[in-house]
A and B are shown apart, each in its own frame.
Chain A
Amino acid sequence: NAGVTQTPKFQVLKTGQSMTLQCAQDMNHNSMYWYRQDPGMGLRLIYYSASEGTTDKGEVPNGYNVSRLNKREFSLRLESAAPSQTSVYFCASSIWNTEAFFGQGTRLTVV
């Protein structure tokens, strides 16, 4: 049972480049989330999807877009990367609004 799988694990982008972070869960969870984690800031919610077919903004959505492809997959896209988006990104899933399970993270550097 893999849980929550994120790809890639590491990425370096140049300012202005775009990329998509992939996330898949095999726990049949309804809700999925994208967080970023920065030193001293804790986990901040970027976007979430309460159920298949719905997405909503979290605390820090600017510069990002998401797609809930199906119940298993939830992707995060950076259309034009900026140095301020250098961070560690975590995908998480939960059955509903209870305990969340996290992936191993994507460490992104924008230069």
Chain B
Amino acid sequence: QKEVEQDPGPLSVPEGAIVSLNCTYSNSAFQYFMWYRQYSRKGPELLMYTYSSGNKEDGRFTAQVDKSSKYISLFIRDSQPSDSATYLCAMTLGTGANNLFFGTGTRLTVIP
């Protein structure tokens, strides 16, 4: 079983839709949770970073962590064609090194 599971999609939505991207994980010791956005032929770019359960909002993006269910989500409101990218979740134990685990990514296309 992988440490982090993420639905690879692809996911296509019309412009203006609300997008929900999700990851589940198996290790309850994960402390920090991240979402990366990766445009085609580019490196992953840190989008959101959260610690502990709850919500964190940044503009049109909301990251949600539910530690009791071992489930994290990224919501994109009023999606734009420029949001078309692959989104990777990542999480870390917060101690030591080599404890950063990534999901395989969900490819999102926002159709104008």
Contacts and interface: CB of A to CB of B under 8 A. Distances in A.
A97 B104 CA distance: 20
A1 to B, nearest CB: 14
Interface string A90-111: 1000101111111111010000
Contacts, number: 59
Interface of A: 4, 31, 33, 40-43, 45, 48, 50, 56, 58, 90, 94, 96-105, 107
B65 interface: no
Contacts of B105: 42
Contact of B93 (A90, A97, A103): A97
Contacts of B36: 102
B26 to A, nearest CB: 16
A106 B90 CA distance: 21
14 contacts: A4-B43, A42-B103, A45-B100, A48-B98, A50-B97, A50-B98, A56-B97, A97-B92, A97-B93, A97-B94, A99-B32, A100-B46, A100-B100, A102-B44
Interface in B59-112: 88, 90, 92-100, 102-105
